[in-house]
Amino acid sequence: MLFNSYEFLLFLPCVLLLYWLFASRLAWQNVLLVVCSYVFYACWDVRFLALIIGMTLVGYAGGRMMEALRHQPRRERAVCMGGVVLCLSVLGWFKYYGFFTDNLARLIHAFGFTADLPTLNIILPVGISFYTFQILSYVIDVHRRKIPACRDVVAFSAFVCFFPQLVAGPIEKAQHLLPQMQTPRRVSYAQFADGLRLVLWGFVKKMLLADRVAPFVQAVYGNPESDGTDLIMATVLFAFQIYGDFSGYSDIAVGTARLFGIRLSRNFHLPYFSSDIPSFWRRWHISLMEWFREYVYFPLGGSRCSRLRHLRNTFAVFMLSGLWHGAAWTFVAWGIFHACCFIPHVLRRPVRPAPPAGEVQRSRSAAVIAQLARTALTFVLVCIGWVFFRSESIVSAFRHLRSMVSDVHFHTPYGGFSTLYPVVFVVAVEWLTRHRAHALDLPPIGLLRYRAVRWALYYALLFAVAYWGGAQSAFIYFQF
């Protein structure tokens, strides 16, 4: 069931109505959330309900067992490792079996041997990467004694399968979301209205931005004869397509959760306004990078070690992040590229002390120009990375990059410059509201002080989404 579908527009109000009818009964609310989340998930493929239920029970039982073995550290650690290995094995089977067997066969063939490895046509369960990481966070946090083991299997199931963020995040850590499933929830009119505004802006980014530019990106990247001019335009459009698609989903998920009195983590924070690559990754897919930082980067030593180990830790995180996105070398190359972009920030010298009083400082205009130049350079680097992410293979990615440098012609790009109109609109709105919680968190100044003006704006955006929105399509990150 897609968020941008008529089925969801009918499904959500019905669930909300039943949910708030049980406002004084937390257990019934949780049961309703679990049942409705399973219905939501079954709309994709009912066969995989058994998988998510099974993995939920594994995580729940693992937490209870670790709590019972508190005074037997070795057994408790073994249970934790068993739960982690089991979850990763299930994820690896569905997501990476074909990738590894194919590459192993190629490696054996390179040494002059033949291999008849078994091949299976395995269907990837939607959202498996997201809910697996949530279960892992719970198992590890219980072992670290950051949270107590959950005794309510229904509340734990609601934590794993909460439908707004089930299939594409944000990836919630147990210490943030699970307590909300165990305590009574309330929502004020202001919170409910803010959730609806955030949902509306998510639809704007998904349907007016991502879905509008997607056909042009597909046409250029799907044509081997595309020249450098078209590829440059298509790459810029893809940068905003994937941003509008994924951050739009996240806004809808976070906004929908607020309607239920549940606070989800912010997953994007204006990433293309970043002035360097580390800043970009503090603003892009925040929940995933926080997960890797806490459960991979810090255990490896983080940055509090030698620079060589710091580089190793950085490359490990980004290679795993690339592989998490998909079983293809293009995603691994994308991760390695971003790790390479981190090298100057890892190796740079310590910050110099502040200049003495009276020393001539750069003018404000020079500082602004330097900031804009750094932001533009960061965006170019991110777009180079997106070429690997979008291409069918590493060879085709390098071919595209070569064309962008050597095969540039002065002509109107495919689709014309009008394809940039949605990009300009979204960027302008987010720049003007960059100090607000989100784009439709409008400041009560000027004409916006009047409710009629604000509602006219909301209805205008609804009309634009309905009238100019692109063709209904699944969200890009559903495949991950």
As given in the structure block, the two tokens for residue 125 are 């369960």
Q: Is 128 exposed, middle or buried, given 0-12, 13-18 or 19+ CB atoms closer than 10 A?
A: buried
Of 473, 7, 22, nearest to 242 by C-alpha is 473
**Helices of type H across 260-328:** 277-283, 286-292, 298-300, 307-325
Number of H helices and number of E strands within the chain? 19, 0
Query: Exactly one of 285, 325, 338, 400 is catalytic; which is it?
Result: 325
Contact by Cβ (8 Å): 399, 222: no
Backbone angles phi, psi at 278, to 5 degrees: -60, -40
Q: Let me know if 325 is a catalytic residue.
A: yes
As given in the structure block, the two tokens for residue 32 are 């309703």
Q: How far apart are CA 109 and CA 406, in angstroms?
A: 35
As given in the structure block, the two tokens for residue 162 are 């909460």
Would the CA dihedral through 271, 266, 254, 190 be positive or negative?
negative
CA angle, residues 138, 143, 147, in degrees to nearest 5 = 55
| Helix, strand, coil percent content, the chain, rounded in steps of 5 | 70, 0, 30
Contact by Cβ (8 Å): 162, 87: no
Q: How far is CA 10 from CA 4, 53, 191, 427, in A?
A: 11, 25, 21, 31
Q: How far apart are CA 382 and CA 372, in angstroms?
A: 15
Q: How far apart are CA 193 and CA 187, in angstroms?
A: 10
Residues 6 or more apart in contact with residue 274 via CB below 8 angstroms: 280, 282, 283, 375, 378
Q: Give first-to-last CA distance, the chain, whole Å.
A: 16
Contact by Cβ (8 Å): 247, 203: no
CA angle, residues 136, 142, 148, in degrees to nearest 5 = 135
Q: How far apart are CA 377 and CA 277, in angstroms?
A: 10
DSSP 8-state class, residue 124: P
| Catalytic residue positions, numbered | 325
